């Protein structure tokens, strides 16, 4: 009975390992189909849009503060930081711009030796998804929520 269980477990492990190797190879082939040049042509404009939208968000928030008591920050984390006066505002800026550092790396990382072609594609795809999502969210925040502050600030 014990030998039967060991044989069953051994066959199961062998089947699972074979299945995972096939999945790994399929995913590898799929990732290698991505053209890095084409991906890069999308990444840097998305990164520039991300940076611009972040600056525009800070600018419109600063304009909104000039409205005085009529302005209420909806983001609870930012509201708590803004209550800290100047130091809180600086800390909020650090939190706002800090994600740009790793995104910059993801966008502009290169593999000069061509030893890590798969890993670079994974990183570039992750950057593409992160920037597309971040840009969409910031476009909503800046474009929809803060557009009135930007238009009527003069």
Contact 56, 97 (CB under 8 A): no
Contact 153, 63 (CB under 8 A): yes
Residue 131 burial (CB count, 10 A): 22
Write down the pTM of the prediction.
0.77
State the pLDDT at residue 65. Answer: 72
Locate the domains of the chain by residue range: 1-33, 34-151
- 75 vs 64: CA distance, rounded Å: 14
- 42 vs 64: CA distance, rounded Å: 32
pLDDT by position in tens, the chain (length 154): 566 777 888 889 999 999 999 999 998 899 888 888 899 999 999 999 999 999 988 887 777 777 777 666 777 777 777 776 788 878 888 888 999 999 999 999 988 888 888 899 999 999 999 999 999 999 988 877 766 656 665 5
Residues 6+ positions from 63 with CB-CB distance below 8 Å = 149, 150, 153
State the pLDDT at residue 46. Answer: 96
């Amino acid at each position: 009975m014990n030998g039967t269980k060991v044989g069953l477990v051994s066959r199961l492990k062998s089947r699972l390992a074979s299945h995972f190797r096939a999945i790994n190879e399929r995913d590898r082939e799929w990732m290698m189909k991505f053209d890095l040049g084409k991906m890069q042509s999308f990444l840097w404009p998305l990164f520039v849009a991300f940076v611009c939208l972040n600056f525009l968000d800070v600018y419109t928030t600063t304009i909104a503060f000039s409205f005085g008591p009529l302005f209420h920050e909806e983001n609870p984390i930012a509201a708590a930081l803004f209550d800290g006066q100047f130091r809180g505002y600086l800390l909020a800026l650090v939190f706002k711009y800090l994600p740009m550092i790793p995104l910059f790396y993801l966008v502009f990382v290169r593999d000069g030796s061509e030893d890590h072609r798969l890993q670079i594609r994974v990183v570039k795809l992750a950057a593409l998804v992160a920037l597309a999502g971040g840009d969409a969210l910031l476009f909503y925040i800046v474009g929809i929520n803060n557009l009135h502050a930007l238009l009527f600030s003069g």
